[in-house]
């Protein structure tokens, strides 16, 4: 029987790759992944640990999606960080709104410039 080995990447729709990179690379600090092939449309790949985040510049598809108020009740992806307080400060410096996780965990939700929900979870130290 085939078993999943892990998540390779998550894709999010964006309306402007440069603006999205300002958020994901500039604010969240994700490094660029330079192995993206020519897909016939703009976008970028970034690294999150051993996984990747793919930005797909497809504004017509993005316009068809709807976002709810709190990111935890919307389609989203979650990434681990080792310093939630530092990341919270970066969001505040850049004027990016966020809400704490309603579960009580050390986590928060924010949205990228296109309204995609991003959950940021502090990794538990064991």
Superfamily of segment(s) 9-122:
2,3-Dihydroxybiphenyl 1,2-Dioxygenase, domain 1 (3.10.180.10)
Alpha helices (H) along 23-108: 59-62, 84-93
Distance, in Å, from the CA atom of 105 to the CA atom of 70, rounded to the nearest integer, reads 15
Domain regions of the chain by residue span: 9-122
Quick one: CA dihedral 44, 21, 68, 48, positive or negative? positive
Q: 115: phi > 0 → left, psi -120 to 50 → alpha, else beta; which?
A: left
Which tens digits make up the pLDDT trace of 108-119?
999 999 889 899
CA nearest 114: which of 74, 83, 81? 74
Which tens digits make up the pLDDT trace of 17-69?
999 999 999 999 999 999 998 988 999 999 999 999 999 998 777 666 666 66
Q: What is the pTM assigned to this prediction?
A: 0.82
DSSP reduced 3-state for 92: helix
């Amino acid at each position: 029987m085939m078993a999943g080995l892990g998540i390779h990447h998550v894709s999010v729709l964006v309306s402007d790759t440069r603006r999205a990179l300002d958020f994901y690379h500039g604010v969240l600090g994700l490094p660029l992944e330079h192995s993206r092939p020519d897909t016939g449309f703009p976008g970028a790949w970034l690294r999150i640990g051993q996984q990747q985040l793919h930005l797909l510049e497809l504004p017509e598809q993005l316009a068809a999606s709807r976002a709810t108020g709190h990111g935890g009740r919307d389609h989203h992806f979650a990434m681990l960080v080792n310093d939630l307080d530092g990341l919270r400060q970066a969001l505040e410096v850049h004027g990016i709104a966020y809400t704490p996780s309603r579960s009580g965990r050390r986590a928060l939700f924010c949205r990228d410039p296109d309204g995609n929900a991003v959950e940021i979870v502090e990794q538990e130290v064991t």
